[in-house]
Amino acid sequence: MTTRRTFLKNSAITAAGLTFGPVLQTSGKPVPPSDKVRIGLIGCNGQGWSNLSAFLENPQTECVALCDIDDSVLQRRAGDVQKIRGAKPAGLYKDWRKLIDNKDIDLVIVGTPDHWHCIQMVAACEAGKDVYVEKPIGRTIEECNLMVKAAQRYKSIVQVGQWQRSDPHWQDAVDFVNSGKLGKIRLVRVFSYQGWCPTIPVLPDESVPAGVDYDMWLGPAPSRAFNRNRFHFTFRWFWDYAGGLMTDWGVHLLDYALFAMNVTAPRSIMAMGGKYGYPDDACETPDSLQTIYEFDGFNVLWDHAIGIDDGAYGRNHGLGFVGENGTLVVDRSGWEVIPEKVNGKIRMEAVPLKRGLDVGLKNHVKNHLECIAGRNQKTNASIEIGAHIAKFSALGNIAYRTGKKLVWDGTRFTNDVEANAYLVPDYRAPWKLPVV
């Protein structure tokens, strides 16, 4: 079963349906300068670097600029690019705005923490760039709305980092769900139990490390003293910057619940959870959470935990489409069908595990490059797809934080005015929510 660490290691080497663009030629022939896609990466430490590495496997790409607020990360990644392509990028920046202003850049990869995605993606679109933006595209509903508007207004070719949309076995699973063989689906069980992801201990605040522009790292987030728990990877567990496992893994997995069931917005949401496993650690987001999304005729259940691996169906992550005749289970390793057996009678044939090929990120990047070449905005994970699922995950967190069952009309909560305060972010000056 895939862990995040395994994925990060391996990955370095359309709202209506999933499409796979033609594979770009990698014959070794020289690529004319006019066909080059010149890339600038903002946020070089983790997934941003994995994304860039996948792009650089394609000969028509060139990395011309890197940006990171941490000098040590910036210089290390410049050296890594040199190892791959023989030369360091010409532009090395600590201020992302200078990278956006670089007229040599065609494509911007936004690999920063979640609280930066909206401002940086909108700015890149305004500057005429295409964008690969990490998931979730935004922390709030309004950020997502603005990012969709920006991509549409400036006609940018945007791919969201939901690379499972380009991994073929996920589409095969959706096709089986849509075949009707499972019978009526009562529940979509979505779960992420991450044993590799342990608690983080409480640490004291400290001085900002040398070479780090911490004020720029904070950006629109509230001003706080430097604390290592809030920096680099573990920013995910603090509300100022992200939404915990609900948004980190939820946008990948819940996306396929919506896709296979052909829905976008729930009627209502309720959530229960807390810091059950690690009540005294430094995390703000819950280590255990169950969220119920209500639709007509079925529910979607989100269930997550950190520090333990015992999810459903003997897996640590995945989805179970629970039908009258059987349950289809899918995760990053593949999919299978477990038949219902009622009163001794089996209602359908089992489908043994059909293994995936682990080519999601590779295909995702190729699809983006093909869409850039054809100026086709319907990438495999378009900005519209990314917005739907980022909003969906955010709704679950809002239900948890308010402790209420919330009724949603697709735009706002109709039964709780106070909950609507979570829909729009409050940015720290001088940063402002973009106007599109």
CATH number for the domain harbouring residue 234: 3.30.360.10
Indicate the number of domains in the chain: 2
Beta strands in 61-101 (DSSP E): 61-67, 91-93
Q: Are residues 138 and 178 located together in one domain of the fold?
A: no
pLDDT of residue 28: 54
Q: Are residues 86 and 232 located together in one domain of the fold?
A: no
The distance between the two most distant Cα atoms of the chain, rounded to a whole number of Å, is 69
Q: What is the pLDDT of residues 283-322, one digit of tens each?
A: 999 999 999 999 999 999 999 999 999 899 999 999 999 9
Q: Are residues 47 and 67 located together in one domain of the fold?
A: yes
**What is the pLDDT of the chain when averaged over all its residues?**
93
Q: Are residues 268 and 237 located together in one domain of the fold?
A: yes
In a domain, 219, yes or no: yes
Read off the pLDDT of each residue in 27-31 and give the average, rounded to a whole number: 63
Q: Which domain holds residue 291?
A: 168-356+389-419
What's the distance, CA 40 to chain centroid? 19
Reported as a pLDDT band with limits 50, 70 and 90, residue 9 is very low
Q: What single-letter DSSP state applies at residue 158? A: E
Q: Are residues 192 and 284 located together in one domain of the fold?
A: yes
CATH number for the domain harbouring residue 73: 3.40.50.720
Q: Are residues 145 and 177 located together in one domain of the fold?
A: no
Nearest Cα to Cα of residue 300 among 314, 320, 316: 320
Q: What is the pLDDT of residues 181-209, one digit of tens each?
A: 999 999 999 999 999 887 899 999 999 99
* Of the candidate ranges 20-24, 262-266, 353-357, the one whose mean pLDDT is the lowest: 20-24
In a domain, 236, yes or no: yes
Q: What is the pLDDT of residues 104-142, one digit of tens each?
A: 999 999 999 999 999 999 999 999 999 999 999 999 999
In a domain, 432, yes or no: no
User: Between the CA of residue 148 and those of 74, 205, 340, 383, what are the distances in Å?
Assistant: 30, 37, 42, 6
Q: Are residues 199 and 216 located together in one domain of the fold?
A: yes
Q: Are residues 24 and 132 located together in one domain of the fold?
A: yes
In a domain, 426, yes or no: no
